[in-house]
Amino acid sequence: KGRKKAREGCSLPEPSWEERLANAVTPLWRLPYHEQLQVKHESQRKILQTLSSRLEELGIDAQKPDGLCCPLQPVVPSPIINGYRNKSTFSVNRGPDGNPKTVGLYVGTGRARNIVCVKANHVENIPSKHKQVAQCYEEFICRSPLDSCILFHEGGHWRELVVRTTSCGHTMAIITFHPQELGQEALATQKALLKEFFTCGPGTVCALTSLYFQESTMTRCSHEQAPFQLLHGEPHIFEELLGLKFRISPDAFFQVNTAGTEVLYQLVGDLCQATGDTVLLDICCGTGTIGLSLAHRVSKVIGVEVVEKAIEDAKWNAAFNGISNCEFHSGKAEAVLPQLLASWEDARPLVAVVNPSRAGLHYRVVRAIRNCRSIRRLLYISCKPEGEAMRNFLELCCPPDPVKKLAGEPFVPMLAIPFDMFPHTFHCELVLLFSR
């Protein structure tokens, strides 16, 4: 309201749709990079202050002279500031001009019913290759007689586009399609047209390594729920990280900033203080990138991941890179980890690295870690430390609680290091080192 009044008083023009999108997706884009880092450092300080206060409420004397529960290092900058994303998700909806087949990113909210889909050509954290594929996809669906699927119950078919790229020059496009009432013959026709467009038509400029198609009647579907169908090219794309080569499936997790990930993993390796007899427990391991990049420092790596295809990738990655001291387990961490640790009798030092989604770790995972006395050192990598991860931090550090079956000695936060994996946004990846 204040900005609106200021514009009315000063006759300032309303921001363009491009500016509105940039402000929504990359809110720090106008700030010089060193100022972005200052903003993020202050936000991470406030998160640690909150953690310190919450620990005090639990009766834990955690605050140091600076008011924080542990030292906070300066934000580690991203090696690449613009176009760093290796994965982008584009929506299909009505654009500012009313075109219902606009491919871009959302401005507005569903609750306010003011969503507009704006092309992302000017957004600084998205690489030009992703923008090119999005533009070609829009051209294709605009030629198609089938409608876009804006609301499932209103019909339509063409839905979101995911683009993944690697530093090896590979590009994967994944197109989500609502089948509605179409039969198999009609679906086959649409898949053939899509393949033809990207292999023989205008879409050839994208030089896709892989083109996938997913028939989905839900907002998000795993491969098990709705298989990814390869229409063209290779089933996987490949990325190089710290001298290793990694295979990536359509729905496998991979850190979105590859150059920043190398810096992050190098420091994670240093913080682990791993020795030749250390066992590294890699929880939420994705395609195995953390464990495999540190395998040469430890005697054994044990990875746990819920996405089955990612575990297949992890096993392939280990074999391809000649790494034989890793084992990977597919399944929910809350089901797999307690079984792994309940009977743990290995005398070797055990270090845990957890890298969960924004939802944080399931309580049973935290409990299994707490109750395994062999784990003396824990690295928690969080992309949203102010969210559900805060609950995990408190569960790790609280006094033993028989009611919650937390018998193990509590952890203590020792060091916090923020990494700027997401330039131009408020987001930061925080690495918290715990020990006991």
Cβ neighbours of residue 236 closer than 8 Å, sequence gap 6 or more: 210, 247, 248, 249, 313
Token look-up 């020990």 returns 435
User: Was 305 annotated as part of a binding site?
Assistant: yes
Give all strands (DSSP E) within 284-359, no chain letters: 300-305, 326-330, 350-354
Rama region for 327: left / alpha / beta (φ>0; ψ in -120 to 50; rest): beta
Residue 159 backbone dihedrals phi, psi, to 5 degrees? -125, -145
What burial class does residue 113 get, using C-beta atoms within 10 Å of its C-beta: 0-12 exposed, 13-18 middle, 19+ buried?
exposed
The answer to whether the CB of 359 falls within 8 A of the CB of 382 is: no
- The Cβ of residue 70 has, within 10 Å, a number of other Cβ atoms equal to 19
> Annotated binding residue at 154?
no
**Residue 114 annotated as binding site:** no
Active site (annotated) includes residue 383: yes
Question: Could you tell me what percentage of the chain is helix, strand and coil, using 3-state DSSP and rounding each to the nearest 5?
Answer: 35, 25, 40
Q: Cα 386–48–124 angle (5° rounding)?
A: 55
Which residue out of 284, 383, 397, 428 is catalytically annotated? 383
**Residue-by-residue DSSP string for 87-119:** EEEEEEE--TT--TTEEEEEES-TTTT--EEE-
Report the 10 Å Cβ neighbour count for 37: 21
CA distance 409 to 400: 7
Phi, psi of 54 (to 5 degrees): -65, -35
Residue 367 in tokens:
């409990």
Q: Are 131 and 32 in contact (CB under 8 A)?
A: no
| Known binding positions for S-adenosyl-L-methionine | 255, 305, 355
Residues with catalytic function: 383
| Known binding positions | 255, 305, 355
